[in-house]
Structure 1
Amino acid sequence: MHAVLFAHLAFPLVLFACAAALVAGTVDAMVGGGGLIQLPVLLFLMPHTPVLALGTNKLASVVGTSTAAGRYIRRTKVDWRSAGPMAAVALGGSFLGAASARLMPAAVLDVVVLVAMVGIAVHLWRNKTVGLVERIRFEGARRIAVMAAGGVVIGFWDGLAGPGTGSLLIFFLVSAIGLEFVGASAVAKVVNCATNVGALIVFAPNGSVAWGLAAAMAVCNLSGALIGTALATKRGATFVRKVFFGVVSLLIVSLASKLAMG
């Protein structure tokens, strides 16, 4: 029973996981990337059961992303004609990715995310006004199609492992669609909520969730989401852009160090 609830973790380690969930929820609500804080902690604590770590991470994350999505919806404008279809296809992509999760080595995921984060950092450095002002590049059916294409690809990635999904969604919405950072964060949270649900559909029935640990982390992730959305909506796109660039830079250093140390 203890394995099902807390994966045999001692109480101090559960507190450590909860602290990571609080920080992850705060960062994720603003700029995404919470999974790159929360998931490595779970993989460190459960090195022999990576699928259990993935499932536990998804359950804790879905509470935070749902909370952040609800807060953003009340405080910012979300175009549901394009965000709705993007979330729907992203859920399907996440379901397929989660079904393939056992096939992808962790080292490969780290390399892919590292390359993506370096590309994002270079793009933001060279384009210092990206995401500060909304400049929509597509309208009508084209906008729906482009967002849906991005949603299914990033959704598959989220189900497969999920590191950096929120950041990838925000970057896609800012760079490819032309949203400003706060609006992109709002849409990203709606889509990210759907991808988490899609992955959970696969993980939960297979016993790949430590339910007690996930519930404790979910409360902390939710608290972080409240803090993060309040900061993002109050401080605006310029603040969120700075935090986003900072988080991406830290993730690059973290992943590069992890790969260098084997």
Structure 2
Amino acid sequence: MPDISLFTLVTLCLVAAAAGWIDAVVGGGGLLLLPALLLGYPHHQPAYLLGTNKAVAIVGTTAAAVTYARKSPVDVRLAVRIGAAALAGSALGAFFAAGVSSEVLRPVIMGVLLAVLAFVVLRPSFGTDAPATGPVTARRVAAAVAVAGLGIGFYDGLIGPGTGTFLVLALTAVLHLNLVQASATAKIVNVCTNFGALVVFSVQGTVLWSLAALLAVFNLGGGWLGAHMALKKGSGFVRGVLVVTVVGLVAKLAYDQWA
């Protein structure tokens, strides 16, 4: 494990648990963990921290996906179809990730977060309606594969943080799912995007495996707890967590950027 103080290590473990919880509820846990890794390892190349974040995230996301699949009405076959496209997109994005710098990373993440916040606040009923019934049209499936699969998958491999949130928003808008259904579907897709990117990062040797193994344990616990809470409390709870999470992360990134 790279040299790091005990205080920083404990902080990262707690952040990993919180990120797992947020990822399971609404997605976007990487927007918490990746900035923490950037602060904890300011002299490491961003590619190593992106790779480590992927190794941690895939564990918690997998736990959440299994929990949702067991207890929520999710179309696993459709999620896997979108996930296959997302895997290809994320692998391609990860291939280009070595050229991403931390100076570029923070403002990009912050801008995307602000866009998400504006969308959710201006659409108060978004994702809280009853779940869609009946078969999903082929046109909507194709749109979901293109947008949630290839497009967001590429972003996940290239940068990563916020992928779960963007998947939830895209699946809700394109397939007319409610937020709980969209979260369940997004977890399965997100496992595929994490796997595709992690394979590339592993081949490139840009994963801090010992650190990732420790943080993954805490991320796993957070993901398990978050999935159970989202299923129990419903879409209104998920939407509230989304808004609070985005506001907090924008404030934190803005402070880190300009303080």
Q: TM-score range by the shorter chain?
A: over 0.9
Per-residue deviation, residues 108-129 of structure 1 (Å, max 9, x unmatched): 3333332322222222222211
Residue number in structure 2 paired with 1:3: none
Aligned residue for 1:260? 258
Normalised to the residue count of structure 2, the TM-score between the two structures is 0.93
Q: Deviations over 1:211-233 (max 9, x none)?
A: 22111111100000111011100
Structure 2's unaligned 5+ residue stretches are: none
The RMSD of aligned alpha carbons is 1.8
> What residue identity is the alignment partner of 1:154?
I
Correspondence for 1:12 among 7, 13, 16:
7
Displacement after TM superposition at 1:164 (Å): 1.0
The residue correspondences of 1:45-64 to structure 2 (distance < 5 A) are 45-49=40-44, 50-64=46-60
* 2:72 is aligned with 1:104: no
The Cα shift of 1:16 comes to 1.9
User: Number of residues paired by the alignment?
Assistant: 256
Question: 1:65, 1:82 → 2: CA distance?
Answer: 18
User: How far apart are the structure 2 equivalents of 1:105 and 1:143?
Assistant: 36
Corresponding residue for 2:204? 206
Q: CA deviation at 1:252?
A: 2.1
State which drifts further: 127-136 or 185-194: 127-136
Matched, 1:65 2:40: no
Q: How does 1:1-262 map to 2 (within 5 A)?
A: 6-49=1-44, 50-134=46-130, 136=132, 139-150=136-147, 151-261=149-259
Report deviation, 1:171: 1.2
The whole-number CA distance in structure 1 between the counterparts of 2:256 and 2:11 is 20
Deviation string for 1:88-133 (max 9, x for gaps)?
Answer: 0101111011110012333333333323222222222222111011
For residues 167 and 248 of structure 1, what CA distance do their matches in structure 2 show? 10
User: Residue 135 of structure 1: CA displacement?
Assistant: 5.8
2:21 touches 2:224 (CA, 8 Å); kept in 1?
yes
**Structure 1 residue 206 displacement after superposition:** 2.5
Change (3 A) 1:135 1:72: closer
Q: CA deviation digits over 1:12-63, x for unaligned, max 9? A: 3322211110111111110111101111111112222222211111111100
Do 1:76 and 1:186's aligned partners in 2 also have CA atoms closer than 8 Å?
Answer: yes
Letter in 1 for 2:106: D
Offset from partner CA, 1:174-230 (integer Å, 9 cap, x none): 223321111111111111111111111111132212222111111100000111011
Secondary structure at 2:183 match in 1: helix
Which stretch of the first structure deviates more once superposed, 251-260 or 161-170?
251-260
The answer to whether the Cα contact below 8 Å between 2:47 and 2:100 also exists between their aligned partners in 1 is no
Q: TM (normalized to structure 1)?
A: 0.92
Q: Does the CA-based 8 Å contact 1:72-1:186 persist in structure 2?
A: yes
Q: Which is further off, 7-16 or 185-194?
A: 7-16
CA contact (8 A) 1:29 1:189 kept: yes
Counterpart residue type for residue 245 of structure 1: V
Any conservation in 2 of the 1:85–1:144 contact (CA below 8 Å)? no
Query: What runs of 5+ residues in structure 1 fail to find an aligned partner?
Result: 1-5
Task: Letter of the 2:90 partner, please give it.
Answer: S
Can you list the C-alpha shifts for 1:151-178, whole angstroms capped at 9, x where unaligned?
Answer: 2111111111211111111111122332
What letter is aligned with 1:159?
A: G
CA distance in 2, matches of 1:135, 1:230: 19
